[in-house]
Amino acid sequence: MSESLTLSNWMSIRPNQVIAIRSGQVISSAEFTTNVARWKNLLAQHSGHRWVVYHSDPYEFLSILYALWYLQRIACVPGDNRPATIARLSNKVDGMIGEISQGIALGSNDDYLIEDNFALHELDGSQIAVELYTSGSSGAPKAITKTIAQLQSELASLQKQWPAVSGAVILSTVSHQHLYGLTFRLLRPFIAGQPILCELCEYTEDIYNFAQDLCQFVLVSSPSHISRVNELLDWSSLNALCVNIFSAAAPLERNDALRMSKLLSAPLWEIYGSSETGVIAWRSQAADTEQSLWQKLPDVEFEFDPNEQVKVCSPFTDPQHSVLSDKLKVYPNGCFELQGRSDNIVKIEGKRVSLTAIENALCEHSWISEIRAFVVIRKRTEVAIALVLSHEGEIQLMRSGRQFMIKTLRAQLLSKFETIVVPRRWRFIDTMPYNQQGKITLESLQNLVEQPALLKWPTIKNIKHDSSNLLINCTMPKELLYFDGHFENAPILPGVVQVHWAQKYAVEYFNISQRFSHLEVIKFSHVIQPEEEIEIAIEFNQQKRKVMFSYRSAIGLHSSGRICFE
Amino acid sequence: MTALQNELKEMIIECLDLEDVESEEIDNEEPLFVEGLGLDSIDALEIGLALQKRYGIKLDSNSEETRAHFANVNALADLVKNHRTQ
């Protein structure tokens, strides 16, 4: 029975199955059909062809999809519902549905008159089902269109490879707003008669706890969770309950794959594909082979173009989006290994992001003159930034310090990118590490973050000033560049730096346009050490064009002097 | 109690490999996620694992509840105080 079910004919057949489980309650086919009708009635009152759909509940999301399909409309699916994501789509669509501000939502009294026979006909497979929005290499969101027939043929290939165990409940740590989740968490279970758990498993503990009450389950997950599974739970109590584990978004480390498979006593299938092409291949890592190669899914073939790029041919791949951005090494038997990407798109914890897009989002900022975003692998994979400050940026650095600037730049990125991909490591450098060929290698950038960030200015706690007096309360961070190397075991702040700071702050705050002439008096009474709290007092005598400065702390005067300007 | 909060701040900085953050700078009431410290869902997984390893705390099945425990350092300290097994 289930073999003949398709996305097109489901509504006309309406098999009796459990569609979803939400808050421990079972949702039947009949309830689903009614819910689709409610959404369809509601949406029919609004005109427009293209709609952004975001809903964290997969059951509601599926209901909205079917309502739109039977209204001959298109669901535009973003990966998240951040205001900036939605704003970027807003001029491409006619309206919003679901958990989006001003999105159309189902009210409790939206029952109206439900016409029961609306869905008897089969859907036309050539109809556009969804437009997925993903991160393009320029950073602008790129629409990937899927017809109902394309989605359906992908489900059919998956069914050939992994015949579904009907009735097994789908637990997922991934959202259905991306293609992998849409296919594996939502559409495949729906067609295969597998109930979908509406709650997302945010923690691996959630998988364990939800699975307790189930007879059989399938886990749809990704390396983010599988590599961080809590081993201390009594996973063996779930013995034999798990039918299959799927993982996609990025390759798994072999040990992580083997551990998860062992904990759940279930085969773990890694999926390789892209939003553009759909599923391409799979692998299952084994304990006795160093490297497990990827194998193509049934119905998938490769073509190689003269530039050695790989073109994917399958019934569910649009020929216009068929060239892979990944580099593959293909063996004569058709199996292959992955060798990185040929563009500037990276995956951070499974989330695709364009490094160019991050650079573009920052390079316009007046603080920045040159910028590179790159990936570093530490405890986790993260984006790091190397940047050369503009003149304005240098002034900002001395006024407010590094942390404030990083926080500001991060906030600017957070409006456009998911938190996971926003850079966590920043290096302010004087020049980019160009090599003799005029290129910046990834290695030279990664070397920058091996060392802790060095600082050029004190950490400002408070600044007070009027036209002739400036009072700076600050501490001397231990990461100050100048503590390094003066005396190996007794780091102190060099006197020349104290004069330099006094002069720079005076020029900045009193708008002194004349050039430095000479030092008149200078006295160093006590050394300044890391972490010391210091008050820098600077007084400007405009008539004499002289600046008096002093560095003091609780123990008294450290230094004082007079700087003369031309 | 303050000692526990400081211990948790150190744990967060260490287990998340955070840069540009000193434990004294983290306010006990400051949100850990999104705004405030700006942590994300992967960090939440790491904190969950660290709590289990260090204090033997098992997270509840209720994600909403977990989210409340992870709201800020004070909430984490309450969780550890009431549920630690080691």
CB-based contacts of A527, cutoff 8 Å, min separation 6: A492, A493, A558
Q: Which domains does chain A have, with CATH numbers?
A: 2-246 (3.40.50.12780), 346-450 (3.30.300.30), 459-565 (3.10.129.10)
Q: What residues in A contact B16, CB-CB < 8 Å?
A: 379
For B59, name the nearest residue in chain A, comparing CA atoms only. A205
- Cα-Cα end-to-end distance for chain A: 93
Chain A stretch 526-555, residues whose beta carbon is closer than 8 A to a beta carbon of chain B: none
A420: nearest CB among B15, B40, B59: B40
Burial of A475 (0-12, 13-18, 19+ CB in 10 A): middle
Phi/psi of residue A348, nearest 5 degrees:
-110, 110
Question: Quick check: B21 and B73 in contact, CB under 8 A?
Answer: no
CA distance A407 to B20: 10
ipTM metric: 0.83
Asked whether the beta carbons of residue A425 and residue B45 sit closer than 8 angstroms, the reply is no
A419: nearest CB among B20, B40, B58: B40
CA distance A216 to A331: 37
Burial of A469 (0-12, 13-18, 19+ CB in 10 A): middle
| AA letter at A141 | P
Question: Quick check: A173 and A298 in contact, CB under 8 A?
Answer: no
Q: What residues in B contact A448, CB-CB < 8 Å?
A: none
* Interchain contact B22–A (C-beta under 8 A): no
Neighbour count for residue A109 (Cβ, 10 Å): 6
CA distance A103 to A97: 4
CA distance A178 to A181: 6
pTM of the model: 0.79
Across the A:B interface, residue pairs with CB atoms under 8 Å apart total 74
Asked whether the beta carbons of residue A224 and residue B45 sit closer than 8 angstroms, the reply is yes
Strand, coil or helix: what is A1? coil
* Interchain contact A478–B (C-beta under 8 A): no
Neighbour count for residue A227 (Cβ, 10 Å): 20
Tens digits of pLDDT across chain A (566 residues): 444 899 999 999 999 999 999 999 999 999 999 999 999 999 999 999 999 999 999 999 999 999 999 999 999 999 888 888 898 899 999 999 999 988 999 886 666 555 655 667 899 999 999 999 976 555 566 789 999 999 999 999 999 999 999 999 999 999 999 999 999 999 999 999 999 999 999 999 999 999 998 989 999 999 999 999 999 899 999 977 999 999 998 889 899 999 999 999 999 999 999 889 999 999 999 888 877 899 999 999 999 877 778 899 999 998 888 888 888 889 988 899 988 777 778 889 888 888 988 998 998 899 998 899 999 988 888 999 999 999 999 999 988 888 899 999 999 998 888 899 999 999 999 888 887 777 788 888 998 988 878 888 998 889 999 999 999 999 998 888 888 665 667 788 999 999 999 999 999 999 998 888 999 889 999 999 988 999 999 999 999 999 999 999 999 999 999 999 98
CA distance A428 to A284: 43
* Interchain contact A461–B (C-beta under 8 A): no
- Going from the C-alpha of A122 to that of each of A10, A13, A127, the distances in angstroms are 8, 9, 11
B34: nearest CB among A224, A233, A419: A419
Asked whether the beta carbons of residue A202 and residue B40 sit closer than 8 angstroms, the reply is no
* Interchain contact B41–A (C-beta under 8 A): yes
Asked whether the beta carbons of residue A205 and residue B60 sit closer than 8 angstroms, the reply is yes
Strands (E), A123-267: 128-135, 141-147, 169-172, 196-197, 217-221, 242-247
> b/e per residue, A289-301, with b = 16+ CB within 10 A?
eeebbbbbbebbe
Q: Which domains does chain B have, with CATH numbers?
A: 2-83 (1.10.1200.10)
- CA B61 to chain CA centroid, Å, is 17
